[in-house]
Structure 1
Amino acid sequence: MNDLSDSPDALPGFWQAFLDAPMHRVQKLSILALTAMCALDGLDLFAITFAAPVIGREMAIGKAAIGLVLAAALAGMALGSLFLSPLADIYGRRRPLLFSLLMMIGGTLWTALAGNLFDLIGSRLITGLGVGTMAAVINPLAAEYANAKRRDISVAIVNLGLPAGAIVSGILAAWMIPLLGWRALFLVASGLGMVMLAIVLLWLPESIVGILSRGGPATQTRLNHLLNRCGQPASVAPDAIRPRARRRSIRLLLTPAELPATVAAAAIFFLFTLSLYYIQSWVPSLITGAGHTVSQAALAATAMSVSGVLGGSAFAFLVPRLGLKRVVIAAVTLSGLAIALFGVVPMDLPVLVAMSVLVGASTIGGMVNLYAILSRNFPPSARASGIGFVIGVGRFGSALGPALGGLLFSLGHERAMVSLVMAMPALLAAALLLRIRQRDYA
């Protein structure tokens, strides 16, 4: 038997029993807690976009400086995903999760107290580091809390927290900024982070993979305690636990057996985020450029977020019936077609809102279920490292998508041509998904 069951058919008996058993209340509440943490990610990330115009006026800084503030968070997310997520494959899942929450709390609190541009850039960088690390940790945790039957839908539900958090961020910003000022928004975000920190410290369990990753003489005791909490008998025998070489996770991803899957997953994620962030970033500008008001553009953006949550849920519930890979390919393909179609439909407001609903449902539906494929794509002992690497690569796509769209517009290309070009990466991602073999690590 491999030391952390890197082979899908090499599970010790207690682990297989955990995967086969119905999900206990503790497991379901753990998934709910992870969803709330993902929503906190969305709240932290999108709060600055709503506050940016007010911050610019208050601190007398221009759009270029605000752009640096926004870019700092994206850079931090990429660095956290790439370089801090492997800690979860070395020291267990809970410790890096606590560390990421501390960074997010500190970053948002620093933002609330910021007095100059340096404070804003530094605080958003720290917040981004926390968000990037958390994103790479909560996805493995979601997969590892769930049983085999509910794993895919559990990962999808957790990732629906991000668009839900974006919606909450917009609602809070619309109410709080005019009444209490922009700093109150970040104080609330840091306060919610402290609540989540307490939940992780006092209640959230470590996963089986996290316990095995951490190792030590108390491994058997911790595993049996987890099984008891989840309503299963304490059945871990000493000979079912094997030591593993620490700091092995990154090297495992680079082996000939794992490297092709790692590169393919990163390419798919990069291509899809390229298309997704183009359309999410440019929809408001395209609508206002057609003569509609900022409020009407905000309506379309909100419709996109709401439909994303609903569409993501609908696609997730189709997974047990149609299969994970088929559902993701369908959603990603529909995303590419919807983005291309957005470029040619009439610019009447009802049509644009309807298209925003279609784009939101397909793009976010594709993304949250793509995370479920990622959770199965990497062996347990390198799952956080693999997901972190793929998410980190995807961050470059999220930055390149809006910039490439802007470049094409600046060169004089019309909406139809730009949207068609920017739809191609999503369609290419769907084609790559068709060609890769679906993996199924425990």
Structure 2
Amino acid sequence: MTRYQYQVIALCGLVMFIDGFDTQAISYMAPHIADEWNLSQKMLGPIFSAALVGLMIGYLALSPLSDRFGHKRVIIAATVVFGLTTLAAVWAGNVTELVALRFITGLGLGAAAPSAVALTGEFSPRRLRATFVLVIYCGFSVGFVVAGLVAGRLIPDYGWRSMLWVGAAAPLLLIPFLVRSLPESPVYMIQRKMDQDRIYAVFRRIDRALPQSLPEQSEPVFSVEENDSGQRTALSSLFTRKWLLGTLLLWFVFMINLAEFYALQSWLPTIMTDLGYSMSVVVTATTLTTVGGIAAAFITGPSMDRLGAYGTLGVLYLVGFVCVALTGVAFHAPLWVLLTANFLAGCCISGGQKSLIALAAVFYPASIRSTGVGWALGIGRVGGILGPIVVGAALAMNWTPSSVFYAMSVPMLVAGFTVLLLGLRYGRHADRSAGIDDTAPGVTSEEARIPS
């Protein structure tokens, strides 16, 4: 790893940080929006889900654009979109306007994340790929934490729109740094037959031991390993015989995990507020679920790289079955027990989500990685959209918070066994993708070859 690689990963992490901040901020704004606009609790569901619908469409329809325009351009364009639409939401005067703007914001967020994951995977050594994908997704979780801290300070004094001002300023200020310092994907440049000196300059910044300039030769200097799908597009490659079963199982687990994740993050603040907890306790409890996900990443990332991706994630989900059910019990226990249960549930739900994205990043090769991750996240958003709606319906039918969490624990059990089943079919492939064979240094050692 060089400073240049850390710089690329840090910029991708900042994009994910802003994504997380924007996604979670609405959960803290929603009760205050409802009070100001006299909305029923049922109307909060569309506000929660609008950006998630946009995210789903962004992941499905816009992530493949990176194959045509490159990861850098997609990240920058998407950041401009969600920065400007977040700013425009400051002046939203009704639910329709807010939902429409949140939907467009979600489109931008959905386009940026897969390219950030793919670029991180490409600039990471194979032996650390899962770890670094988890690192940038910790940026997403840190955004959740910061959203809670900022909400606790700004909303009581300046109102819910102050969160939108902050959420718009961050991406707009980041854009100049992305334009100047974020490189394009070397694999994309090689496939597009761009200027070889430009490509070589990227590799020289990674490895200063390379010669000052390219050797003169008649044959092409760079090549990209072809997968067995030949000339297929990245999207159609997901449905070839080699990838179809793994793709479908990944989508199923993504739907479960994202349903759990967004149900927890969207409704926990409202549930605890209705139970009479103060704003500071609500923010602490919600933040602990996110901190748990960050803490879990320090264990699951190295474990996935060293011990196996599927076994690590499968065990995490099985533990999550117990921890989510424990949260339901903890609503009738002392506060410290509830906060501990929130932390442990976050380790398994939020930590599981990061680990699942890392699994997708090491599962797919570079040529289809952005599309593979993007479609997994996009299809998973079906669960993310339904999760908050189902929990809202259960609460409207007078389910107790404990009953809701008991029911939420069961899908975690199903996800755990599904991942273990996936590992039985693709475990050896995961080891190769994650870089158990660690002989080749450099950022894209498995995808791009440079002559000695």
Band of TM-score, shorter chain: 0.7 to 0.9
After TM superposition, the score normalised by the length of structure 1 is 0.86
Distance apart, 1:374 and its partner CA = 0.4
CA contact (8 A) 1:104 1:131 kept: yes
CA contact (8 A) 1:313 1:365 kept: no
Which residue, 204, 208, 227 being the options, matches 2:186? 208
C-alpha distance in structure 2 between counterparts of 1:270 and 1:423, whole Å: 14
Distance apart, 1:24 and its partner CA = 1.1
Which residue, 222, 233, 238 being the options, matches 2:220? 238
Is it true that 1:39 corresponds to 2:21 in the alignment? no
Alignment of 1:221-236 (within 5 A): 221-232=197-208, 233=210
For 1:160, what is the secondary structure of its paired residue? helix
CA contact (8 A) 1:344 1:415 kept: no
Distance apart, 1:61 and its partner CA = 5.0
What is the match of residue 442 of structure 2?
A: none
- Measured at CA, do residues 91 and 336 of structure 1 come closer, stay the same or move farther in structure 2, by a change above 3 Å? same
CA contact (8 A) 1:44 1:189 kept: yes
Is it true that 1:86 corresponds to 2:64 in the alignment? yes
Distance apart, 1:403 and its partner CA = 2.8
CA contact (8 A) 2:254 2:376 kept: yes
Is it true that 1:313 corresponds to 2:313 in the alignment? no
Is it true that 1:262 corresponds to 2:240 in the alignment? no
- Measured at CA, do residues 281 and 226 of structure 1 come closer, stay the same or move farther in structure 2, by a change above 3 Å? same
- Measured at CA, do residues 235 and 158 of structure 1 come closer, stay the same or move farther in structure 2, by a change above 3 Å? farther
What is the match of residue 375 of structure 1?
A: 361
Distance apart, 1:65 and its partner CA = 4.6
Alignment of 1:422-441 (within 5 A): 422-436=408-422, 437-438=426-427, 439=429, 440-441=432-433
RMSD: 2.6
CA contact (8 A) 1:110 1:119 kept: no
What is the match of residue 54 of structure 1?
A: 32
For 2:183, what is the secondary structure of its paired residue? coil
CA contact (8 A) 2:21 2:144 kept: yes
C-alpha distance in structure 1 between counterparts of 2:224 and 2:13, whole Å: 32
Alignment of 1:32-181 (within 5 A): 32-59=10-37, 62-181=40-159
What is the match of residue 436 of structure 2?
A: none
- Measured at CA, do residues 157 and 298 of structure 1 come closer, stay the same or move farther in structure 2, by a change above 3 Å? same
C-alpha distance in structure 2 between counterparts of 1:383 and 1:276, whole Å: 23
CA contact (8 A) 1:38 1:135 kept: yes
Is it true that 1:328 corresponds to 2:306 in the alignment? no
Alignment of 1:270-289 (within 5 A): 270-287=255-272
Question: Mind listing any 5+ residue stretches in structure 1 that lack a counterpart?
Answer: 1-22
CA contact (8 A) 1:405 1:422 kept: no
C-alpha distance in structure 1 between counterparts of 2:357 and 2:142, whole Å: 16
Distance apart, 1:378 and its partner CA = 1.6
CA contact (8 A) 2:234 2:367 kept: yes
C-alpha distance in structure 2 between counterparts of 1:430 and 1:407, whole Å: 26
Which residue, 377, 389, 395 being the options, matches 1:403? 389
Deviations 1:54-80 (A, max 9, x none): 334445555455443332211111110
CA contact (8 A) 1:108 1:123 kept: yes
Distance apart, 1:316 and its partner CA = 2.2
Is it true that 1:248 corresponds to 2:233 in the alignment? yes
C-alpha distance in structure 1 between counterparts of 2:376 and 2:388, whole Å: 19
Distance apart, 1:262 and its partner CA = 1.2
Deviates more, 1:101-110 or 1:64-73: 64-73
CA contact (8 A) 1:284 1:297 kept: yes
Is it true that 1:389 corresponds to 2:378 in the alignment? no
Partner amino acid for 1:273?
L
Deviates more, 1:402-411 or 1:118-127: 402-411
Distance apart, 1:135 and its partner CA = 1.6
- Measured at CA, do residues 251 and 124 of structure 1 come closer, stay the same or move farther in structure 2, by a change above 3 Å? same
- Measured at CA, do residues 277 and 189 of structure 1 come closer, stay the same or move farther in structure 2, by a change above 3 Å? closer
Partner amino acid for 2:377?
I
C-alpha distance in structure 2 between counterparts of 1:375 and 1:243, whole Å: 17
Distance apart, 1:235 and its partner CA = 5.8
Question: Mind listing any 5+ residue stretches in structure 2 that lack a counterpart?
Answer: 434-445, 447-452
Distance apart, 1:400 and its partner CA = 1.9
What is the match of residue 407 of structure 2?
A: 421
C-alpha distance in structure 1 between counterparts of 2:86 and 2:361, whole Å: 29
Partner amino acid for 2:87?
L
C-alpha distance in structure 2 between counterparts of 1:248 and 1:334, whole Å: 38
